[in-house]
Amino acid sequence: MPLALLALALGAFGIGTTEFVIIGLLPDIAGDFGVSIPTAGFLVTGYALGVVVGAPLMTVLGTKISRKRMLMLLMGLFIAGNLVSAVAPTFALMLAGRIVASLAHGAFFGIGSVVAAGLVAAEKRAGAIAMMFTGLTVANVVGVPLGTFVGQSAGWRVTFFVVAGFGVLGLAGIAKLVPEIPRPEGVRLGHELAAFRNVQVLLAMAMTVLGFGGVFAAITYLAPMMTNVTGYADSSVTWLLVLFGLGMVGGNLLGGRYADRRLMPMLYATLGGLSLVLALFTVTAHNKVAAAVTVFLIGALGFATVPPLQKRVLDQASGAPTLASAVNIGAFNLGNALAAWLGGLLLSAGLGYTAPNWLGAALAAAALALAVTSAALGRGSAPSGRRPGSVTAARAPKERGEPREQPTTGPVARRQPDYPAGAGGDLREHRG
C-alpha cells in the first residue's frame, strides 16, 4: 500500500478521536459550563449534523482546487475547530468549535476515499478505502480512551489541544506523502450532481443510513444498558467501548478485503449478520460474557459494511464520484443521529434499555432488503457490455475526466470504474 494511505489514515485518526471522545467528557464539560447533561449532548448532535451539512458544502467549495490542497485545507479547518473548543470561554463558543471541526469530517473522508481508491489498482480499491478508514477505527481503540484519560486527569481542554496536535501531524503527512494531483478538467458541479439521478447511488446511500443507523441505535445507549441490565460497573463501560473499537478495526479490514472480491455478497452477509446479532443483543445483554462478545460483533459487522458501501457509491457514480462519496459520509452520520433519536423515543416510552436493539435489528434488516433490491435492479437493467447503474452507461463519454470504456470481450473481461485523474483516478503514475 502507498505511504500516502498512511497520511490519510492519520488524518482520519484525528477526526475519529474528536468525534467520539466527547462522549466520555460530557459530564466534565457540562459541569464546567454549568449546563445539564442533555444540553451538553448538543455537542454530539451538533457535530453529527455539521457533518451532514458540511460534507456536500465543503466538497462543492473545493471543486476549483486540487484534491491534495483541499485535503490540507480541511485538516486546517479541523485544527482550528479543535483549538476553538479547547479555549472556548462559553458553551455556545464550544459548540461553534465543534461545528467548525465537523465541517471538515465528511469532505475529508469523501475526497480521501476517492484519492485512496485512485492510488491503487482497480481490484484493490476497497482495500485502500479500508486502510484510510482504519485511522477512524483505531481512534476508537487508542485515541478515544487516551483522550478520555487525559481529559479526566488534566482537564478536558487539554484533550482538545492534543486532538489539534493529531490534526497537525495529519496535515504534515498529507503535505509530504500525498501526490500533487491536478484539478480535474471537464468535471463541474452539474456533472457531480448528475450522479444523484442514478437510483443505484441513492439506494447505496439509503443502505448506509439504515445499516449504520442499526449500529448506533444500540451503541448510543450502551452505557445505561450495560450498567442497568447487564450489571457492569460504570468503570467497565470504557473497556467495552474499546472492545467495540477492536471489532471495528477487524471488521473494517475484512470488509475492505472481501469487498474487492465480491462486493454485494459481502453486503448481504454483513447486513444480515448485523441484524441477527442486534436482535440477539436483547437476550445476551443479560449476561456479562455474552454481552461483551456481542458488543465486539456489532463493531465488527457494522464496520465491515463501511468499505463495501463506500465503494458501491464510488462504483455507481464513477463518472463523478467526489460529491457522492462525501455525501455518503454524511449519510453515515445521518444514520447515527436518526437512530439515536428513535432509540431515545423508545426509552422515553418506557420500553426498556434493550428496546433500541430491536430498532437496530429492524434498520439493518431494511438495509439488507435495499441491497437485494439494488442487485435485482442492476441485473434487470444492465445494458450489454456496461456496468449497471453507471451515470455514464447510457452514453459514450466525450468530456475529459469522464470514465473510459474498456474492452468487454473475452471470458473474464469487464468494465471497471475509471476514476478521473485528479478526482481519484489512477494516481499511481503520480507517486514519486
**HEC per residue, 139-192:** HHHHHHHHHHHHHHHHCHHHHHHHHHHHHHHHHHHHHHHCCCCCCCCCCCHHHH
pTM comes to 0.70
Residue from 24, 120, 106 nearest 71 by CA: 106
Q: Please name the residues in contact with 230: beta carbons below 8 A apart, sequence gap of 6 or more.
A: 285, 286, 287, 288, 291
Handedness of CA 94, 100, 103, 104 (dihedral sign): negative
> Which cell is 70 given?
483541499
> Which cell is 126 given?
476497497
What pLDDT score does 342 carry? Answer: 84
DSSP string over 10-21: HHHHHHHHHHHH
Say how far residue 207 (Cα) sits from the centre of its chain: 13
What pLDDT score does 106 carry? Answer: 80
Instruction: State the Cα–Cα distance between residues 356 and 366, nearest whole angstrom.
Output: 15
- Please list the pLDDT of the chain residue by residue as tens digits (432 residues): 678 888 899 999 999 899 878 877 777 888 899 987 667 777 877 888 888 888 788 877 777 778 888 899 999 999 999 999 999 999 999 999 999 999 988 888 878 877 887 777 777 777 787 788 788 778 878 888 888 788 878 889 999 999 999 999 999 999 998 887 666 555 555 666 666 677 888 888 899 899 988 998 888 788 788 888 999 887 787 788 888 889 988 888 888 777 777 888 888 999 999 999 999 999 999 999 999 999 999 999 998 888 888 778 777 776 666 677 777 777 887 887 788 778 878 887 888 889 989 999 999 999 999 999 988 887 766 544 444 444 444 343 443 344 443 443 343 334 444 444 333 344 444 443
Handedness of CA 360, 212, 271, 288 (dihedral sign): negative
Gyration radius (Cα) of the chain, Å:
21
Q: Please name the residues in contact with 365: beta carbons below 8 A apart, sequence gap of 6 or more.
A: 271, 275
